[in-house]
């Protein structure tokens, strides 16, 4: 994973806001995502392209529309792989619980 692309994508408030909107309602079109923003459709399109490059958003066409979906995996990977460096002891303990929760044998 290209962590640098993810960090750079997350650096912009508008892009984080777009992720928030997709979190609220997944699978939105470009036009839908543009509504209510003080920004042109093209600006939003550029932001979405950056989010796609960072693999934070996945999209596919449906006819003339393009549907955008949130991909939270890179965020989770940063949490584990990078933040873990700084929260090492805590995260180690937390991950053992995570594993335990996911495989409750």
Q: Which residues bind its own copies (CB under 8 A)?
A: 4, 7-8, 10-11, 13, 16, 19-20, 23, 70, 72, 75-76, 78-79, 82-83, 85-87, 90, 93-94, 97-98, 101
3-class SS of residue 82: helix
Span near DNA by CB under 7 A; candidates 41-49, 70-78, 79-87, 90-98 = 41-49
Q: Are strands 57-62 and 28-29 parallel, antiparallel or unpaired?
A: unpaired
- Paired strand residues for 57: 70
CB of 1 or CB of 43, closer to DNA? 43
Question: Hey, which residues does 29 pair with through a beta bridge?
Answer: 67
Residue 17 as a binder of DNA (CB under 7 A): the answer is no
CA angle 90, 9, 57 (to 5 degrees): 90
Binding site for DNA (CB under 7 A): 8, 11-12, 14, 29-32, 38-43, 45-47, 50, 61-66
């Amino acid at each position: 994973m290209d962590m640098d692309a993810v960090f750079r994508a997350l650096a912009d408030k508008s892009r984080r806001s777009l992720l928030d909107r997709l979190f609220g309602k997944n699978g939105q079109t470009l036009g839908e995502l543009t509504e209510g923003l003080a920004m042109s459709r093209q600006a939003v399109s550029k932001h979405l392209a950056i989010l796609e490059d960072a693999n934070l958003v996945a999209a596919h066409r449906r006819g003339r529309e393009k549907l955008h979906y949130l991909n939270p995996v890179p965020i989770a990977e940063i949490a584990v792989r990078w933040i873990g460096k700084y929260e090492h002891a805590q995260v180690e303990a937390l991950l053992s619980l995570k594993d335990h929760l996911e495989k409750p044998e």
